[in-house]
Amino acid sequence: MSLSWNIAFDSTLKEFGITAKWLAERSGISQQSISRFRKGHSPMTTDNLNILLSHLSYDARSYFFSLVLGSSLDTTQLPPISEQIAKLSVQSKKQLVMEIVDSLVSEREPETVAS
């Protein structure tokens, strides 16, 4: 059974502990717009939904689409990542590198200072 876009989005954020505030700060889309979409009070443009999804982890995006499609995504059928990257434009490759760097920076544990 597949879910509507807004219900799948809301479920994904809940499942991964993501708040509208956190997502708004990173995406530039207002917290109010995100919350209204999650509750089904207003639609979200395809462009804005794409922006929001781009700030989620791969696992969260996979979870979201599995809810929308009503089945698990079978990632075993995907070509190797090197083949997927080779098909990207130069601009998309630059964006991918920046996303990876941002992800690594945000996941990095704070450094401790020796006393």
- Please state the rounded mean pLDDT for residues 77-102: 82
pLDDT above 70 covers a percentage of the chain that reads 83
Kindly list the domain boundaries of the chain, sorted by start residue. Answer: 5-73, 76-107
- For the segment(s) 5-73, the CATH number from 1.10.150, 3.30.390, 2.60.120, 1.10.260 is 1.10.260
Stated pTM of the model: 0.61
Q: With both helix axes pointing from N to C terminus, report the angle between 46-54 and 5-15 in degrees, rounded to the nearest 10.
A: 20
What would the pLDDT profile of 63-89 be if each residue is shown by its tens digit?
898 888 877 655 566 677 788 888 888
- Token pair, residue 52, equals 């929001």
Torsion of CA 66, 71, 72, 73, to 10 degrees: -70
Q: What is the DSSP letter of 75?
A: G
- Please state the rounded mean pLDDT for residues 39-65: 92
Find tokens 């804005």 and name the residue: 48
Find tokens 């995100």 and name the residue: 34
Left (φ > 0), alpha (ψ -120 to 50) or beta: where does 70 sit? left
Residue 59 burial (CB < 10 Å; 0-12/13-18/19+)? exposed
